[in-house]
Amino acid sequence: MIDFFQGLTSVEDIKSTYRTLARQHHPDLGGSLETMKMLNSQYHAKLKSVNGSQSGEHTYNYNQKIEQDIIDKINELLLLSDVIVDLIGTWIWVRGETKPHREKLKELGCFWHAGRKVWYWKPKGFGRSRSNPGSLDSLALKYGCTQFTNHAKQLTAV
């Protein structure tokens, strides 16, 4: 059996490797369903193994439901045309040509952020954060950011 995450010890490396491998093995992009199931299982096991690890001033707390909800939501959002999806921490921000997708974004559980002029989604149970009044760029610097786009049905992380 292939160990997709052998030798990886940081949350950032595990998640980055997962995103790359998911694009290669996702059944919708020509990959195998069985390989994708194995990849998902190993991904959650590896994240669970680094629970409590420190990255800068943040401690990683593994939660399989939240991790899977984030993956599922990004995949749903990337079905919309001409949008840019930013994963900043555990919140998802949606930019680009969102106006035509307003109703679909609401249906997907996204909310409009009037101050930042973008849509966002957060995992259930995460309250409003009043401690981060800055721009998306400042949030990205603080929590890390991965950007996803959907160009001609080819999912990519930037």
Q: Give the tens place of pLDDT for each residue, 63-122.
A: 888 888 998 999 899 889 999 999 988 899 999 999 999 999 999 999 999 989 999 999
* 35 found inside a domain: yes
Question: Does residue 67 belong to any structural domain of this protein?
Answer: no
Domain identity same for 16 and 88? no
Residue 137 pLDDT exceeds 60? yes
* Domain encompassing residue 92: 73-158
- Predicted pLDDT at 131: 57
pTM of structure: 0.72
- The answer as to whether 52 is a domain residue is yes
* Residue where one domain finishes, among candidates 62, 83, 104: 62
Domain count across the chain: 2
Mean pLDDT of the chain: 85
- Domain closes at, from 17, 33, 62: 62
Judge if 80 and 17 occupy the same domain: no
| Cα(48)–Cα(44) distance, integer angstroms | 6
Do 35 and 27 meet the contact criterion of CB atoms below 8 Å apart?
no
Q: Flag whether 131 is in a domain.
A: yes
Residues 53 and 92 grouped into a single domain: no
* pLDDT the model gives residue 113: 94
Reported in sequence order, the residue ranges of 28-153 that DSSP labels E, i.e. its strands, are 54-55, 58-59, 83-88, 91-96, 111-113, 118-121, 145-151
Structure-token pair, residue 126: 């995460």
